[in-house]
Structures are given as C-alpha cells and as structure tokens.
Amino acid sequence: MEPNKETINSAVVNCLRNIYDPEIPVNIYDLGLIYKIDIDDDLNVKILMTMTAPDCPEAEFMFREVKEMVGYISGVKSVEVELTFDPPWSFEMLSEETKLELGFM
C-alpha cells in the first residue's frame, strides 16, 4: 500500500507513543508534549512540540530522538521539529487516560 497522509500520521503518532519523557514515565504524545503534527502532500512531516520545562536537561536529546525516529518511518520524505514554549506545558495537557493512570482523576 502506498503511504499517504493518513497512514503517515498514524505511524507518526505510534512512533511518538514509543518515546518517553525521562522524568515522567509517560510517552511524549500522551504527556501532551506534541502540539501539532502537519504532513504535506509530499509527505514531509512538521512537528510542533514542547518540553515539560524550558530548562529541561533532556530537551536536546528528546528533540533529536523525535526527528530521528519519525525520519525512519517508511514514506516520510523529511522531518522538521520545532520547539515552542507557547503555551507552556502543564499537567492539564495530559491525555484523560494518562491522568487516570497517574492518579490525577
């Protein structure tokens, strides 16, 4: 099957769910660190993400890991990852399932 935006998006989300924050035992997607995933018609992927804190010591490592791991997805032409702190991350950004798992509900 030829890769398309939908299959690439699904693969990107699955990939991001396999990258874990080193300080909170939750993957970065369910943690709410991924603000936006854009895939253009040529299957170039742009990811807007944040960190739990601006001074996160693992920021550079996680940033590189996201770019590298998403780049391995079959059909992806290129990966651009942009880091933002607007809006700042907070525990409210956790998925409902993660909030329940961590005892916030």
CATH number at residue 47: 3.30.300.130
In a domain, 51, yes or no: yes
**Distant-in-sequence, close-in-space partners of 83: CB < 8 Å, separation ≥ 6:** 49, 50, 51, 59, 63
Query: Would you mind telling me the total number of residues written for the chain in this entry?
Result: 105
Q: 35 lies in which domain range?
A: 5-90
Q: Look at residue 64 and tell me if it is in a domain.
A: yes
pTM: 0.90
Model confidence pLDDT, tens digit, residues 47-84 = 999 998 888 787 888 889 999 999 999 999 999 999 99
Dist CA 94 CA 99 (whole Å): 6
Q: Where are the beta strands (DSSP E) in the chain?
A: 34-39, 44-49, 78-83
In a domain, 100, yes or no: no
In the chain, the number of structural domains is 1
50 in a structural domain: yes
- Count of CB atoms situated within 10 Å of the CB of 25: 10
Q: Is residue 61 part of a domain?
A: yes
